[in-house]
């Protein structure tokens, strides 16, 4: 399970045995809103951690904080043993934004060639870059479209190009913001198989989704709601603890309990949401 040594062998960097991501009192403010409210969590190395929750609960903001593109982050957030957003991390993390961020007026291969040249610059590495590009295209199953203009691809194909960019150069941490949105069931299954294969090579994956059946395929889950973490557990343990058949049912029960706790008196807050009870009790109890 934790065979990360094999994947990241040639790197001299600190392949620390600790968690891949460690957040202490992580808070993010966007405009008038506090989007993340003092989160504490850890993401273990070499595993797939799913970040789940309804739209607007702060998943993307959390991911942007991890890759270091989010402003106004307070608290402590360490990624691969270094403060999030520090320069040495930029070549060690692969990041896929929610909207496919590739150049529509370049072909699939030209897109990957450019991003590879940013990641591993220099004439001497041209061969290595070619290998990385070929491998990334094969990983996302786009060999037949490698010469197609990105702008002519379907939505699903385009998001796979965006994913391929993040796979370049075997990053130690992959941060994937809803990578399977708009994909058909066959592709989604294939991609999740790919994620497991990549995690098997030792890469840590933090992947967000609001499709709950994908939660079952994660090693660990972080369930979020309104900028707080409702649960941090394995899918099995979560189902068992909430006494439900599926993660989806467990999540819904957690949400209902949290809502009920917010709406009733502070001491009635449920025992299942230790992270939220402190914050929710300070809120106005009625709205």
Partner 1 sequence: MNTSRTLATAARVLRQLRHDPRSIALMLLVPCVMLLLLRYVYDGRPQIFDSIGASLLGIFPLITMFLVTSIATLRERTSGTLERLLAMPLGKADLILGYALAFGTLAIIQSLLATGLALWALGLDVIGSPWLLLLVALLDALLGTALGLFVSAFAASEFQAVQFMPAVIFPQLLLCGLFTARDTMQPVLEKLSNVLPMSYAVDGMGEVLKHTDVTANFIRDALIVALCALLVLALGAATLRRRTA
Cβ-based nearer residue to partner 1, 79 or 250: 79
Work out how close the CB of 80 gets to partner 1 at its nearest, in angstroms, rounded to a whole number.
14
Cβ-based nearer residue to partner 1, 115 or 251: 115
CA distance 94 to 164: 10
CA distance 79 to 171: 13
Positions that interact with partner 1 (CB under 8 A): 30-31, 67-73, 85, 87, 90-91, 93, 95, 97, 99-106, 110, 114-115, 117-119, 121-123, 149, 165
Cβ-based nearer residue to partner 1, 107 or 276: 107
Chain mean position to CA 19: 15
Work out how close the CB of 58 gets to partner 1 at its nearest, in angstroms, rounded to a whole number.
14
Work out how close the CB of 169 gets to partner 1 at its nearest, in angstroms, rounded to a whole number.
10
Work out how close the CB of 65 gets to partner 1 at its nearest, in angstroms, rounded to a whole number.
9
Work out how close the CB of 164 gets to partner 1 at its nearest, in angstroms, rounded to a whole number.
12
Cβ-based nearer residue to partner 1, 135 or 241: 135
User: First vs last Cα of the chain: how many Å apart?
Assistant: 46
Q: Which residues contact 214 (CB under 8 A, 6 or more apart)?
A: 50, 180, 188, 192, 207
Work out how close the CB of 250 gets to partner 1 at its nearest, in angstroms, rounded to a whole number.
33
DSSP-assigned states of every residue in 111-178: HHHHHHHHHS-SGGGHHHHHHHHHHHHHHTT-GGGTTSBGGGS-HHHHHHHHHHHHHTT--SEEEEES
Cβ-based nearer residue to partner 1, 49 or 70: 70
Work out how close the CB of 30 gets to partner 1 at its nearest, in angstroms, rounded to a whole number.
5
Cβ-based nearer residue to partner 1, 149 or 268: 149
Q: Which residues contact 148 (CB under 8 A, 6 or more apart)?
A: 107, 108
Cβ-based nearer residue to partner 1, 1 or 104: 104
Q: Nearest 5°: CA angle at 92, between 46 and 231?
A: 45
CA distance 61 to 77: 13
Work out how close the CB of 214 gets to partner 1 at its nearest, in angstroms, rounded to a whole number.
22
CA distance 260 to 273: 12
Cβ-based nearer residue to partner 1, 171 or 235: 171
Q: How many CB atoms lie within 10 A of CB 128?
A: 13
Element (H, E) at 222: strand 220-225
């Amino acid at each position: 399970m934790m065979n990360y040594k094999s994947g990241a062998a040639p790197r001299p960097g600190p392949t620390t045995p600790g968690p891949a991501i460690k957040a202490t009192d992580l808070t993010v403010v966007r405009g008038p809103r506090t989007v993340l409210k003092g989160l504490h969590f850890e993401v273990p190395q070499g595993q797939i951690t799913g970040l789940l929750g309804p739209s607007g609960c702060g998943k993307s903001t959390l991911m942007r904080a991890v890759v270091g593109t989010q402003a106004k982050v307070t608290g402590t957030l360490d990624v691969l043993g270094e403060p999030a957003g520090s320069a040495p991390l930029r070549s060690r993390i692969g990041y896929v934004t929610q909207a496919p961020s590739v150049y529509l007026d370049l072909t699939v291969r030209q897109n990957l060639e450019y991003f590879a040249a940013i990641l591993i610059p220099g004439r001497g590495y041209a061969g290595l870059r070619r290998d990385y590009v070929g491998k990334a295209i094969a990983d996302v199953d786009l060999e037949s479209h490698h010469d197609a203009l990105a702008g002519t691809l379907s939505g699903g194909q385009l998001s796979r190009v965006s994913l391929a960019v993040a796979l370049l150069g075997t990053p130690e941490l992959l941060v994937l913001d809803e990578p399977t949105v708009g994909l058909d069931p066959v592709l989604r299954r294939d991609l999740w198989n790919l994620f497991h294969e990549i995690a098997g090579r030792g890469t840590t994956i933090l992947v967000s989704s609001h499709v709950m059946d994908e939660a079952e395929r994660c090693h660990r889950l972080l369930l979020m709601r309104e900028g707080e973490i409702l649960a941090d557990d394995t899918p099995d343990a979560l189902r068992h603890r909430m006494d439900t058949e599926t993660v989806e049912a467990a999540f819904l029960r957690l949400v209902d309990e949290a809502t009920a706790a917010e709406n009733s008196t502070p001491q009635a807050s449920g025992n299942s949401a230790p992270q939220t009870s402190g914050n929710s009790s300070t809120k106005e109890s009625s709205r």
